[in-house]
Structure 1
Amino acid sequence: MDLQYPESAFSGLGSADFSADQIGALRKTGAHKRWRRGDVLLCEGGAPDCVIMIEEGQIKATVHASNGYTSLLAVRGPGELVGEMACLDGRPRSATVTASTAGLGTVISADRFLALLQGNAGLAMAVLRSVGARLRHSDTHRAGNGAHTARTRIASVLADLAHRYGVPALDAGPRARRVQVTQQDLAGASGTSRESVVRALKELERAGLVSRNRGVLLVQNPTRLNGWPSG
């Protein structure tokens, strides 16, 4: 049965990566799939057997260290691909991809994905541009980890998530956005401890920049988080 895609699909940052025709080509090449929050979609070390185009919902990519620490590498939303880098170089997957929310996507086998890129130069370039943008973002993030305090890194990660994947909360203000992220994920993304995240969130609440409610963070103005607390 064909799935009807929601009108809100591709409303996030990733939607700028591909044209409507390219999105259509990806959809036709793959199979539609729904998932529940907490479902593991791809496993670290697994075979590069498919690519997933997110249509609805949010996922996270994590890496587990031998000492038990979990690093959050990325969050992805509608209009973005996951698993494409392993398919491009044929190496085992470098991260585990887990659904942060219930979602919908298109799963494309590696063989069909590579064949599609070989026959569609425009799509191949769009994928390369997307990968390049992610690498630049990752480099900037790593540079910030070495240059800033834990509190500033936490605020910066939260601001980035709010800008890229936050849901507008007009009832709380014209720039307010709701972000669904756990304290552990914030710690993993900012290279710090959960205890540091707890302390930073308390300070942000006292400053009137953030409020918490059952796993959802309300960011009053993401721009004001950049450079906090000095900014």
Structure 2
Amino acid sequence: MDTKRAARAPAGRRPRQEWAWPPASLLGGLGPDARERLWEPGVLARYPADRVLMREADETDFVLILLDGVVKATGRTEDGRDALLAVRMGGDLVGEFAAVDTRPRSATVTTCGPVMARRLTRADFLDRMRRDPRASDAVNRSIVAKLRTANAHRVNFTGCDVATRLARVLHHLAMTYGERTGAGAVIRWPITQPELATLCGAAEPSVHKALRRLRALGAVSTGYRSVRVDDLSLLHAAAHLDM
């Protein structure tokens, strides 16, 4: 298969080989040959915005290697709300838990805009893990990184007020997934204030108040379903990350 042609982006975008995945992502940590060996058995798939790719409690076990775009993972709370658990972007792996343990999906995964991915069956994914130690090691490190982030999220929020928790969430998103622009960063995917509230573990009115404080500091600016970090150093200070 001509992988360059298969991985070609939709019209108007740069060719895939010119895009840079975050170094901390699965694909960002692999060389070109290792990446190709990992995704080669998969089928290239493009999804529109707001498409549910995986649904919580479903017994599907395929894996998606995200090439471009953003997805969000949500979980249903006891009172019927959708809680935002995580975001994943190009370079990340999605769905590997169900592929490894064959249990039902632990979250619903929905596209936040157009997404391009490689879709692998469970059999192909596990076969690559057995045959390619480098791929297996990269996947294991990716899973551990997700667990470490989840643990840090819990620890960092202990005893913090809402403004500090919000600053830490935005700083993490900007540093991990943002596109640096001068002193700040742009988070190029739509995020609502209710979703920010679930990430912060806070009530929406409290998040509104905290956002006003961060805007007054000059750390962030907000628009319709968007947040821009205007000054990462100010946001870093508001998050008390040096404590």
TM-score clears 0.5:
yes
Aligned-residue Cα RMSD (Å) equals 1.9
Counterpart AA for 1:109: T
Decide whether the 8 Å contact of 2:165 with 2:239 is kept in 1.
no
Could you tell me which runs of 5 or more consecutive residues in structure 2 were left unpaired when the two chains were aligned: 10-15
Alignment deviations for residues 87-136 of structure 1 (CA, whole Å, 9 cap, x no partner): 11111111111111211111111111011111111111111111111111
Determine if the alignment matches structure 1 residue 100 to structure 2 residue 100: no
When structure 1 is superposed on structure 2, of 20-29 and 51-60 the one drifting more is: 20-29
Decide whether the 8 Å contact of 2:38 with 2:135 is kept in 1.
no
Measure the CA separation in 2 of the matches of 1:230 and 1:166. Answer: 20
Determine if the alignment matches structure 1 residue 191 to structure 2 residue 195: no
Return the offset for 1:18. Answer: 2.5
Counterpart AA for 1:176: G
Cα pair distance change 1:198/1:7, threshold 3 Å: farther
Return the offset for 1:229. Answer: 6.4
Counterpart AA for 1:175: A
TM-score after normalising by structure 1:
0.91
Determine if the alignment matches structure 1 residue 224 to structure 2 residue 234: yes
Match of 1:29 in 2: 41
For this pair of structures, how many residues does the alignment match? 227
Among all aligned residue pairs of Structure 1 and Structure 2, give the percentage whose two residues are the same amino acid.
30
Cα pair distance change 1:230/1:26, threshold 3 Å: closer
Cα pair distance change 1:142/1:50, threshold 3 Å: same
Return the offset for 1:28. Answer: 1.2
Determine if the alignment matches structure 1 residue 175 to structure 2 residue 183: yes
Determine if the alignment matches structure 1 residue 90 to structure 2 residue 102: yes
Match of 2:213 in 1: 203
Measure the CA separation in 2 of the matches of 1:106 and 1:229. Answer: 36
TM-score after normalising by structure 2:
0.86
Secondary structure of the corresponding residue to residue 6 of structure 2: coil
Decide whether the 8 Å contact of 2:168 with 2:239 is kept in 1.
no
Match of 1:157 in 2: 169
Aligned 1:143-154 pairs, distance under 5 A: 143-154=155-166
Cα pair distance change 1:2/1:161, threshold 3 Å: same
Counterpart AA for 1:140: A
Counterpart AA for 1:226: H
Match of 1:4 in 2: 8
Counterpart AA for 2:226: V
Return the offset for 1:223. Answer: 4.0
Cα pair distance change 1:8/1:211, threshold 3 Å: farther
Aligned 1:15-164 pairs, distance under 5 A: 15-164=27-176
Secondary structure of the corresponding residue to residue 147 of structure 1: coil
Measure the CA separation in 2 of the matches of 1:33 and 1:110. Answer: 16
Cα pair distance change 1:132/1:229, threshold 3 Å: closer
